[in-house]
Structure 1
Amino acid sequence: MSHLSHTSAIPSAPPADQLTAFYQPILALDSRRIIGYELLGRQRVGDEVRSLGPFFTHPQVPELEQIRIDRLLREQAFAKLEASPDSPTIFVNIKPTWISKHYHESGELYTLQLLRKYGIEPGRVCIEITEEEFGGPMSDLVQVIDLYRAAGCRIAIDDVGSGFSNYDRIAQIRPHLLKVDIHLMKRSASHSGYLGILRSFSSLAEQMGASLLVEGVETRDELQRAIQIGARYLQGYLFAPAEPNFRAPDEFVPLIEEELNAHRRQVQISERSWLERSLQLAESARSFGFDRLAASAAGSCPTAEEADRILEQWLPLLDECCLYVFMCRNNGVQLSSTLARKPDGSWRRDEQFRGSDWSWRPYFIPHLLQSKQEDTRVSPKYADLETHAWVRTVSICLGEFVLFLDIRDDIEPSI
């Protein structure tokens, strides 16, 4: 949502007879169907349709005028919703200052009044808290949002990743949906850091019991990225712009199914490749003598130097995808040094990590448990802290020890 300069012309309020509610579809990956629409304001002047974005974002447009026009749009939408047999959800954008100020002045919430007027189930309305600097006490805003929640409405936070939606406010509002800022989606196409942020929002939503909604999906590549980061809901021009009428709920089922099938095939090929690679690494490690090193623990625990020596002898057999190799005891304490590949392809020994306890890392215990059952395991893709490359960790269970290899995932492994 762009903010206009103070020096630009102040937009006037459109006449009521030119005011038209438009709707952009929101789709669910699980059902592949349209499940709702975002309400957007338009002005019809003859055959021309104009966005009301400048009117609602210009800092010199009187707030009471913005609220008046917004209410007319909401009433249009709710009247249409009452007449719709397919019961889509309407996503209503409301500025935080509007709902907080009006409620504390009047004790009423206009949207809830409309629900009663048109006999609409509150669950068919999602209150979308828009990006805005809210200067009042958060407790006042949360109080009003909780009234919507108690009535049965769903709550979404818009433009997650931009100004308004910091983590403190997300935690206090406890939304049902996190709507990702459109600019993050665009930047993630060419910058792995933004892709990592998008993945983190998926984890955040999961931990909060919320769902991720990705807007601005304009291409099939962006749809694939939305699937990869764990989005549940989608919105964008790939499907449809904002329009004055609702579409058939199943109109985009073939498109979404095609991309979901492509995603499944890609993941299956990748996971099968990495499983085969991990099994080959495990066979190589055992044939090279790691099993004998592990077996010697029955008599006396091998030293870090012994572990380093056999690791260094094994390094020439590892291809250029492998970045780090180290060995831990099965309690999470690192036995060996960390062998790290240098930019020129040679290896360096980093002894500072000997004795480090990695059992606190979220992946370690699941890795260990599954490794004991299946000998090897491959982690999901993540960004390496030092190189920022996308990597996976392969773990190989060797009795009382676990061998770990961090391997690049942006280079096709030679299997």
Structure 2
Amino acid sequence: MIHPDPILDATPPASPEAAPGAPAQRLFRSIEHDAEGAYGRFKSYRLGSAFQPIYSLAHHRAVGFEALLRARNDGGEPVSPLEVFACAEGEEEIIRLDRVCRAMHVDNHRRLATDEGWLFLNTDPRVVLPGARYGSFFAEMLEHYGLPARRVVVEILEGAIDDEGRLAAAVEYYRGLGCLVAVDDFGAGHSNFDRIWRLAPDIVKLDRSVIVQSTSNRHARRMLPNLVSLIHEAGSLVLAEGVETEEEALLSIDAEVDMVQGYHFARPAPATPQTMAKHPRLTELCDTFRGLAATGEERRQRALAPYRLAFDHAAASLGAGVELEVAAYRLMNQPAVKRCYLLDARGYQVAAILPAWDQDERFTPLANEDASSWFRRRYFRRALARPGQQYTSPPYLSLTGVHLCVTLSMALPLDGETLVLCCDLDWDALDPDGPATGA
């Protein structure tokens, strides 16, 4: 069911021709045109549009354009959009400026030489709550310019709106029209997953700061793929915005984001015909990533090779009746080994060779591993499922020592029962260069 526009659904007040309370058609007529395209006016500013392409990493081409405000003062000098919006006094002027911008962007978008792709439209978060007092507009705008709602992505700054009910109503309205909804600047300021789960946006735009942090902070780089995975599990596509360097682009690919946007691919351009053809830089990046991923995997396999050989030797010695301490002597002398231990068929630890506790003393309550149970760990279950085969776990945070590690494991028949030999390796020591990008 399509509800009244939560931004624009009440009886309009008396106001000038382009004011928010005037009939929508009157506002559309206030948009002017010249050789540069459609433009609007607000106080002493001339308002224009620029469009930045948004690229699909899978398709290697633009799948949409974000409309951005470009403004000049009465002297013809460019001014920041922030300056323009800062001069809007009171909610009526804010809503008027927001509407003029959106109508102008849609008008200019018609000049793009394509009938495909999305138009991403920002909405000023200040209009979401008071806009209901200023009359209907958005649906009439789409009808007036002949733009199908399915081709519009409405961007909302979720962290800038505290009223949960009105935010949800706005999302429901745009979705009811047939538009897609994007949460903008996620990862900056007050962003939280609770709203992502409740609002279920179609697209989540990661703030540039998330990608920048990942280039310099090893922990942020490791978390990025998991952040993207959580958003995917919530049912949203992920768009990395503000991608400006090859390193940031490669990290976005490595994290499996769906779309990218930024100066590395294309700068915003005026409302002139643009192409939806494949972008050669995306093809080159994917080729680069493929090579780096292969090199990174080869590097990790080389690093793991001596540990796997020593682990197989320990397993063979155990199978021949040698005690664990002797069987694992060669293995324990490898530099990245943290511990070696045996689990029974239920996952309980029955024997272990442990180094002296050398971790942060704040975690010493975790040092005593007597009768620990590791049945929930994937490396234990995988080993039981394939007796006699060595399994290498993905990196995970070890509870014993609180460090990132990988575990080698193998199920063995010993003394009439099945035991699982395990060995934890310090992942930072094995893979100091980080993810597949080598960043």
The answer, yes or no, to whether TM exceeds 0.5 is: yes
The Cα of 1:125 is off from its aligned counterpart by 1.0
* Secondary structure of residue in 1 paired with 2:349: coil
* 8 Å CA contact retained: 2:121, 2:154: yes
Aligned to 1:134: 161
Take 1:169 and 1:329, find their aligned partners in 2: how far apart are those partners?
A: 43
* Secondary structure of residue in 1 paired with 2:425: strand
Q: Deviations over 1:14-37 (max 9, x none)?
A: 448711011121111000111112
The Cα of 1:278 is off from its aligned counterpart by 4.8
Q: Give the root-mean-square deviation of aligned CA atoms.
A: 3.5
**CA 1:113–1:357: 2 relative to 1, 3 Å:** farther
Which protein is bigger by CA-based radius of gyration? Answer: 2
**CA 1:267–1:52: 2 relative to 1, 3 Å:** same
Q: What letter corresponds to residue 153 of structure 1 in structure 2?
A: C
Take 2:208 and 2:354, find their aligned partners in 1: how far apart are those partners?
A: 41
**CA 1:266–1:374: 2 relative to 1, 3 Å:** farther
* 8 Å CA contact retained: 1:337, 1:351: no
The yes-or-no answer on 1:334 pairing with 2:349 is yes
Take 2:233 and 2:83, find their aligned partners in 1: how far apart are those partners?
A: 36
Aligned to 2:423: 404
Aligned to 1:352: 368
TM-score by length of 2: 0.74
Q: Deviations over 1:213-268 (max 9, x none)?
A: 111111101111111222111111112222213532236x2211111122122222
The Cα of 1:294 is off from its aligned counterpart by 4.9
Aligned to 1:119: 146
**CA 1:270–1:51: 2 relative to 1, 3 Å:** same
Take 1:273 and 1:373, find their aligned partners in 2: how far apart are those partners?
A: 28
Q: What letter corresponds to residue 74 of structure 1 in structure 2?
A: R
* 8 Å CA contact retained: 1:81, 1:87: no
Aligned to 1:315: 332
Choose the corresponding residue for 1:287, options 304, 313, 321: 313
Aligned to 1:378: 392
Unaligned runs of 5+ in 1: 1-12, 297-301, 345-349
* Secondary structure of residue in 2 paired with 1:168: helix
Q: Deviations over 1:301-343 (max 9, x none)?
A: x9xxx54554355312x2x344444443454333333635877
The Cα of 1:171 is off from its aligned counterpart by 1.7
Q: What letter corresponds to residue 130 of structure 2 in structure 1?
A: K
* 8 Å CA contact retained: 2:337, 2:423: no
The Cα of 1:53 is off from its aligned counterpart by 2.1
* Secondary structure of residue in 2 paired with 1:18: strand
Aligned to 1:239: 265
Take 2:115 and 2:374, find their aligned partners in 1: how far apart are those partners?
A: 52
Choose the corresponding residue for 1:218, options 237, 241, 244: 244
| Count of aligned positions | 379
Take 2:135 and 2:129, find their aligned partners in 1: how far apart are those partners?
A: 10
**CA 1:274–1:98: 2 relative to 1, 3 Å:** same
**CA 1:382–1:160: 2 relative to 1, 3 Å:** farther
Percent identity between the aligned chains? Answer: 25
The yes-or-no answer on 1:22 pairing with 2:38 is no
Take 2:252 and 2:198, find their aligned partners in 1: how far apart are those partners?
A: 26
Take 1:154 and 1:133, find their aligned partners in 2: how far apart are those partners?
A: 19
Aligned to 2:99: 71
**CA 1:384–1:118: 2 relative to 1, 3 Å:** farther
Aligned to 1:101: 130
Q: Deviations over 1:76-98 (max 9, x none)?
A: 22223345424221111124442
**CA 1:341–1:158: 2 relative to 1, 3 Å:** farther
* 8 Å CA contact retained: 2:204, 2:239: yes
Q: What letter corresponds to residue 425 of structure 2 in structure 1?
A: D
Worse overlay, 122-131 or 217-226: 122-131
**CA 1:234–1:65: 2 relative to 1, 3 Å:** same
**CA 1:279–1:175: 2 relative to 1, 3 Å:** same
Worse overlay, 213-222 or 71-80: 71-80
* 8 Å CA contact retained: 2:367, 2:400: no
* Secondary structure of residue in 1 paired with 2:84: helix
**CA 1:336–1:313: 2 relative to 1, 3 Å:** farther
Take 1:339 and 1:54, find their aligned partners in 2: how far apart are those partners?
A: 63
Take 2:177 and 2:245, find their aligned partners in 1: how far apart are those partners?
A: 37
* Secondary structure of residue in 1 paired with 2:162: coil
Q: What letter corresponds to residue 403 of structure 1 in structure 2?
A: C
The yes-or-no answer on 1:250 pairing with 2:265 is no
Choose the corresponding residue for 1:203, options 224, 229, 232: 229
* 8 Å CA contact retained: 1:35, 1:88: yes
Q: Which has the higher contact order (CA 8 A, sep 6+)?
A: 2
